[in-house]
Structure 1
Amino acid sequence: MNAPSTIDLARISAMDLAHAARLLKGVRDATLAGQRPRVMPRPVIRESWGRMLAGGVDPDRDVRSRLLDEEELEERRRASPLLPVLPVLRDALVTVADAAQHIMVVCDADGRVLWREGSSAVLRKADALGFEPGADWSEGVVGTNGVGTPLVVRRPVQVFSAEHFVRTHHSWTCTGAPVTDPRDGTLLGVVDVSGPLRTMHPATMALVDSVAKLAEARLRERHVTALERLRAVAAPVLARLAGRALAVDAHGWTAAVTGMPAADRLALPKSLAAGRAWLPSLGTCRVEPLPGGWLLRPEDPREAPEPLPATRLVLDVSGPRRWTLATLGGARDWTHDLSPRHAELLYLLATHRKGRSASGLAEDMFGDPARTVTVRAELSRVRRYLGALLAHRPYRFHEDVEVELILPDHPASLLPHSAAPAIRRARSVAEP
């Protein structure tokens, strides 16, 4: 028997929208009933539905979480790292959204709605749906949607009609794209364009994704300006020092260096403070504060040889949006948040303790064993903060290191951002 085909946005846009909605409703109903639909949902939707079924989300109605009060909402708005780029988002999307009977919605990394603008008629419809400032639109609360799902998978997603897991959202189409911090890859939130079902257009996703990337570019410009200010402060300080030293910002980006090769970025512990500190890439350093960053002065390893920094490593991939690497060693405890790509690599190494070649990892991550250059480049970056904990030929964790892997409660939630074939196989046991 031939496998069912997969419905995509191009097919939806070519159909009468009412017919497409009925088709998707049949796909959803069959999936919820445990049957194999005659047309399969798109992979990003199928995997999201799997997470919803595993998490017990009610497909008939969302369980509305508490709405933020005005004071809480204003506090989140003031603290949001998206506030500086809000004018960029407004200029690029609000006029278009209003003309197309859409609204633009900006949410934080928790899925809380911070700002909404656009068609007044659609804003009233959104109010009736609970899509209002202060509302929680994370995937685990309201099911598959254009805010919560991009936050989980960390890529743009368009959700049309019955692709929404919760039935009460089927009259809507929504398209969201995540915005990440260019300094450290932290997820900052989502920009979304939503509207009634009849306003669906497949080009909306390209528009929203482009605007999200524009916002990230503006944040990158602000970071470059901040580094230049730090460099101006640090340059005369470094000129007076003998030996190795470097100035970095709070995210580890190098502004100035003397007596040693320059690295673009170092991984810093969140608890860095003035005094002496151990960094995996530099060993023990003397740390001094600078306006906008830190002065790091590595100690001479010939005077105090560095032992293997840890014997136990905990790799936590249990959460949908945060990956933490912690080395445990008494006074040298050190925690680092991982980028999505590095979380994939370290998960693969943790599940292959005897090691993987570059071609093996390329096959695991891209389905192409020839993509070894990309794998080696990423592992080189990983070694900046793992140091002696990571061996190579083949790539593996050092044999003296005990590795503990913390996994999510359900396989469907394993690194849901990842499209790596090996990780998709690990999740597939939970697909509906």
Structure 2
Amino acid sequence: MAASKPSARRASPPPPTPPSASRLQAVHELFVAGEVDTGYLNSHAVRPVVAQSWERSRAGGVDPDIGAARSAAAAAAVDRLRETHPLAPALPVIRRLLVEDAIGSGVVVAVSAADGTLLWVEGDPGACRRAEAMNFVPGADWSERSAGTNAPGTALTLGREMQIHGSEHFSRVVQPWSCTAAPVHDPTTGALLGAIDLTGGGQVATSQTLALVRATAVAVENHLALLRLAGAGAEPAARKPHLVVLGGDRPRWVTTDSVGHLQITHLTGRHADILVLLSRHPEGLSADHLAVLLDDKDLDVVTVRAEMSRLRKVIGAENLGSRPYRLLTSITSDLGEVYEALDAADVETALDRYPGPLLTQSVSPAIARLRTQLSATLRAAVLAESAQGRTDLLRRWLEQPEGRDDRDGWQALRDSAGLTPVARARARGHLAGLDFELG
């Protein structure tokens, strides 16, 4: 029996030589200032793939001045992700083909997850130390939506090999570097697993380097296919069930089947309430206690038991215990991710993980309390960071539905040092509108 064939890879031709660094940097400055559009970029020899990435970066709110990447979760979370990530069994292949030769060459080798989180960053010790200055470290989020145009992030966005030369990077702090990256896919399902990247000087943005990184990605996919065929522990890593309850979308329960495909189950409001409460009470809840938390007036124990019976059919009996009612499986949730980031004092990641309030349609008094608690905690953390000069975080909070009427927040933004005249005028205008509405 032959090994599973890796997913088809769309090869990229060697990129054309970009404009001179000084010329490209001048065009970049005009673009991030909003003074020129994509048509201007194309007429000044900016590669279309780079121009489109700059457009996505600017539209997504990436600030080229605040650093290359927002921090991801705490290091402990990265360690757990490494242990279970599907690329972990192929790390020896990557080290043999890339890392061994990178030592002493001024080159950094990075392996990222599919969401852009860096898992391993190895190679030349001096280059690794210099890369730390731009947060190119395990646990950092180098997705394009977070760090702007960069080889691993843009390769993951487009699903193809990518080279980014110096000033083609969207973030200014990354522009002294060049990088080449290729995505890696699951050899059975074709699902995106992550990316392999070489970062260094101009020597990593050549056609030879592109061929090397592409070949390494193919070797990794073949290695995973052979391991899986031999039953040597390279099955797709089992993900914990994930609960999505923040923002305006319908709540859902996300699991992974035996071949790595995501299974999304939409939840009723009552089932979402129950799962949130059980996730916050790992010790379990009695039917009486759960009835009070869900509705302190009209809910009886019989109704609770009926709901639990229906929920057991939705998420699987293996996940839900009784006497007391409790989760039998460790789960993750977007709610938990926000709290983990706040516990790690990583307000930036907490904002990244917070699309909006908790279960806004819920009438449960316990959920209302959790909703208020989370919103107030995040707001206080943002205001504390803004007092230390992080007005970018304050602006992101004020763009949230909860922040639009936050008078104290808008006043803090208006009084912030270093604000542009236009931004200060906008804050003043918003305050005037709030005062008018409130009389």
Superposition TM-score, scaled by structure 2 size = 0.47
Relative to its length, the structure with more strand (as a share) is 1
* TM-score of the aligned structures, taking structure 1 as reference length: 0.48
Relative to total residues, which structure has the larger helix share, 1 or 2?
Answer: 2
